[in-house]
Every structure is written in C-alpha cells, then in structure tokens.
Amino acid sequence: MKERVLELNASDERGIAAVRTRIKNFAKIAVAKTTVEGFPCPPIKLIILDEADSLTPAAQSALRRTMELYSKFTRFCLIGNYVSRIIDPITSRCSKFRFKPLPADVVTARVTRIAADEGLAVAPAVLDAIMQVSGGDMRKAVTLLQSGFRLYGAELDADAVFDLSGELPPSRLDALLDVIRSNKFSQLKAAVEDLVLDGFSGDKLVIALSDWVVATADISDLQKAFIMRRLALADKALQDGADEYLQMLDLASHTMRVYAKLPLNLGVRESL
C-alpha cells in the first residue's frame, strides 16, 4: 500500500520543496503489475493531496509539471474547499467532482452514535444547534461536539454551541429583527453596538440576515431585492477591510428603512 499510495495534507506541506522532493520522487518511480505477494494490481500509483487549494502558486506550478511528466503511471487526487484557488492549468487536466453537504438526518445519526460511544448525553437542542451551525459538514459537527464537551462538559447547551462557532444565535438575530421592526434608530444603534461588543463579526451578520431574507414571508420580493443588494455591498466592503461596526450599522439601518418602506438612497431613482 505504501509503495502505491501517498497521502499528504497540502495545508501542512504547502511549499514548492514538498512538491519537488516527496511528491516528485514518489511519482517518478514506476510500479509492477503485481504486488509483492504476487496478486494482480494495476500498474499505477496514487497521490492524494488533501486541502490542495492551500498550495502556494509556485508549488502548484511545480505540481502541474510533475503531473504532466508522470501521468502515465501516477494518478493525482486533489481535494480542496475552493477550486478557484487552484490554477487553471491543473484544473483543466482534472475531472471535477463536487460534493453536496450531507443531509441533516445523516449528520444527526453520526453525531448521536459518537456521543453514545463516548458516553455523552446530548440534549436535542444541542443537536439542533450543531446541525444548524455545521451546515451539513460532518467534520465541523464532530469538532463542535468534541470542543463543546471539552470546554463545558455536562453544561453544554445550544447557546454554548453558537459561542464556540462564532455564529449569530437565532435569539440574537430575532432580537435585532424586533428592533428593526420598531423603526427606532437609537435602539438599533444600541443593538448593533451590543453585537460588536459581544464579539460577533460583520460577515456572520451578513450570513444570518441573508438566510432570514430568503426564508421570511414578512416582506415582499421587492423589499428582499433591496436588502440583498445592500447585503452584497456590505459583504464586499467587509472583504476589502472596511470598519465592521459601520458596515453592520449601515446594513441594519438600511434593512429598517426597507422594512418601514421609507425612501432609500441607492444612487438611482428607486423607491418602494
């Protein structure tokens, strides 16, 4: 097995040296059609690179050359979260397989089984919180379970799960939405300041508000469009390094004006 399969975590060995030494030296050696024990086996080798999107551009360029030279008897399996971070010369040479998030019942069953094997009592509310935060990511769900019981023990509850993940809890989002519906800016400003002081980031508010906009039936499609437009602008500004408090306050106040059907300053002649 070790002669035919090489597995590396590209996030740990992400430089060009790893490609030129370990990967290249393994890929260039051909293998026979039979194993040492004499069993028939395809004359190919397999290199598995987990988190390949973490490789540096120089390392990816060296990897591309290695793939070209030794593809006759070596196959490459690249695993990553963002295919856009892998250079085009590599992606054009590969078949792409995209995996959807796991269904909630599958993740729940696995987390419940792990908890039972470890002798942990997990409340239904904690399970629901883990499912909501993980979003179908099994590794994230297991990590939350492990970290939660390590830090909180038997006192682990749904709020603790959200604290661990940094996600905006539904109760805090509902409180912010109540303030938005009240159409009182002074209360809105205080609510946003509380979110910032409690350590919630602007991108988490963007995600939570976007999920609410998609699911809610309290506002019209036109109102949803105006809010989503501002969500996109706020997300871009946050990615560019804008002040989180100002962006959160602007986003919340814009949502308040849309909810109250007040005139909007969009730079164009539009109104609700």
Distance separating the N- and C-terminal Cα atoms of the chain: 65
What are the tens digits of pLDDT across the range 80-91?
888 888 999 998
pTM over 0.85: no
Domains and their CATH numbers in the chain: 5-91 (3.40.50.300), 104-165 (1.10.8.60), 170-259 (1.20.272.10)
Contact assessment for residue 18 and residue 60, using Cβ atoms and an 8 Å cutoff: no
pLDDT at 120: 86
Tell me the C-alpha distance between 31 and 74, whole Å: 9
Output the average pLDDT for the chain: 86
Contact assessment for residue 86 and residue 56, using Cβ atoms and an 8 Å cutoff: no
User: How big is the chain, counted in residues?
Assistant: 272
Residues ≥6 apart with Cβ < 8 Å to 174: none
- Given a cut of 80, whether residue 77 has pLDDT beyond it is yes
Quick count: other Cβ atoms within 10 Å of Cβ 202? 23
- Given a cut of 50, whether residue 271 has pLDDT beyond it is no
